[in-house]
Every structure is written in C-alpha cells, then in structure tokens.
C-alpha cells in the first residue's frame, strides 16, 4: 500500500491567534511514497479583519485582496476531505497547528493532533545540529531552486518543502525523475539510459544434447498453444 502524506503550509495576519491573528492562506501538496503526485489543495481565506502591514510585507496578501474570499468555515470540510487521515508534513509545525486549531475551535471542528505531524524543522535540527534550519537555508544546503520564493506563499512553500522533506528523509533516487504531465498530474519515470545493450556475440551453449532432447519432449507434451513455444 502506498504511503500518503500531506505537506502543509499556512500564511497568517500575525504571530499569535490568541491576540486575534487569523489564517489568510492554506496550501497542501499530496505525496505518495514521498513523491509529489501533483494533487494540491489551495485556498485564500478572508480573515475577517485587517491585514497588518508587517504581515503584508511577508506574503503580499492585502486586506482588499482577501475581502470576499471564502471564510475558514466555508473551506474546512474540503480541507479535511483532502488531508484525510494522512500524516502531515509541516515546517515549524507548532506555529501552523496553533493557527489551524484556533480556526477549528471557532467552528467546533475537532483539532489536529500533533501525533500525526512530522515537523521538518525538528528533523533538520537533528540531522544538521547547529546549522541554519529555515526553509531557505535548507534549499541552499540541498541545492533546491527557490528563486520563485520572492514572498512567502502557502502552496509554493509546500511544494518547496516537499523537495526538502525528500532530502531530509534520504535524498533523491538518481534512477527516478519527476515529470510534469499537463498541469495537474505527475508521473514517475525510470531513467534507464544505456542499461540494455546487445551482446557482441551470443553466449556459448551450455546444455547437453540429452537435456535439449528432454526439453523438446516436454514442450511437445504441453501442446501447440503452450506459452513456452513463444520463447523457443
């Protein structure tokens, strides 16, 4: 059975939901066996309050842009349907869970349990003690292109984090390449190059004459439709 995981990121109006800060964006990327499938969940959310300038500078989502977007209560069911029971992969998970669970409490939905979360910040700190562990720093360490990340964005950051997570949990397999197919699907292709070559000369025959005769008799006993006759 394939292992399904969801890489998740949020953007907010500030740092603490206890002081009235709210979610403004939610982005998720589906992984099967650590490979992005191309299936995503992405919503901008009306926070029902003003977006402070400090937050706008980080993610570029203004009060005017978000006004009229769905409220969290309107997207919560779709969000839960997308994530299902899958493990959640989050960078600095404490921050995102704090906001998500605050929103869920408002609409009397069950909270997300930290037991189902993998925190890539904690993973990075264990794997590289003392080294910078921000998402940008990990992109530099692993040679991941994050040039599109001029501002924070929940879906873009989830896509980048999916690549970082693959490195943190074992690295890319050189025999596998991700290929985009259309705009929403991806497939895994085996990068098999120059692995199959014709022999310059056939191998010598090692079977004895009596063995060949016995094999021929066995084929005759199996009838004309025997699949073995296709390989004679």
pLDDT in tens, the chain (232 residues): 789 999 999 999 999 999 999 999 999 999 999 899 999 999 999 999 999 999 999 999 999 999 999 999 999 999 999 999 999 999 999 999 999 999 999 999 999 999 999 999 999 999 999 999 999 999 999 999 988 876 789 999 999 999 999 999 985 553 344 434 334 334 433 333 344 445 555 556 656 677 778 878 877 787 776 666 665 5
Residue 226 belongs to a domain: no
By DSSP bridging, strand 87-90 and strand 4-12 are: parallel
Please, which residues have CB within 8 angstroms of residue 57's CB and are 6 or more apart in sequence? none
DSSP 109: P
Strand partners, 26: 10, 43
Residue 200 belongs to a domain: no
Residue 214 belongs to a domain: no
Residue 224 belongs to a domain: no
By DSSP bridging, strand 87-90 and strand 185-190 are: unpaired
Count of structural domains within the chain: 1
Neighbours of 116 (CB within 10 A): 12
Name the E strands within the chain: 4-12, 23-32, 35-44, 87-90, 117-119, 176-181, 185-190
Residue 213 belongs to a domain: no
Residue 218 belongs to a domain: no
Residue 209 belongs to a domain: no
DSSP 222: T
- Domain housing 157: 4-190
Q: What is the model's pTM?
A: 0.73
Q: Which residues are catalytic?
A: 152
Residue 88 belongs to a domain: yes
Residue 196 Cα to chain centre, angstroms: 32
CATH number assigned to the domain comprising residue 151: 3.30.420.10
């Amino acid at each position: 059975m394939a292992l399904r995981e969801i890489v998740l990121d949020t953007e907010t109006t500030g740092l603490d939901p206890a002081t009235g800060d709210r979610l403004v964006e939610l982005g998720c990327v589906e992984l099967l066996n650590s490979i992005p499938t191309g299936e995503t969940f992405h919503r901008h959310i009306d926070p029902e309050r003003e977006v402070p300038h400090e937050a706008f500078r980080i993610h570029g989502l203004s009060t005017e842009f978000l006004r009229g977007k769905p409220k969290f209560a309107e997207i919560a069911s779709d969000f839960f349907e997308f994530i299902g029971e899958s493990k959640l992969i989050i960078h600095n998970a404490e921050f995102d869970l704090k906001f998500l669970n605050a929103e869920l409490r408002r609409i009397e939905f069950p909270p997300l349990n930290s037991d189902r979360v993998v925190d890539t910040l904690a993973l990075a700190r264990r794997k590289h003690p003392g080294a910078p562990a921000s998402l940008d720093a990990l992109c530099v360490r692993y040679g991941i292109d994050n040039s599109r990340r001029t501002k924070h964005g929940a879906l873009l950051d989830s896509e980048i984090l999916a690549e970082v997570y693959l490195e943190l949990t074992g690295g890319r397999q050189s025999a596998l390449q991700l290929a985009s197919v259309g705009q929403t699907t991806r497939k895994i292709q085996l990068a098999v190059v120059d692995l199959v070559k014709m022999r310059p000369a056939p191998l010598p025959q090692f079977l004895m004459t009596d063995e060949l005769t016995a094999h021929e008799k066995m084929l005759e006993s199996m009838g004309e439709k025997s699949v073995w006759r296709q390989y004679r």
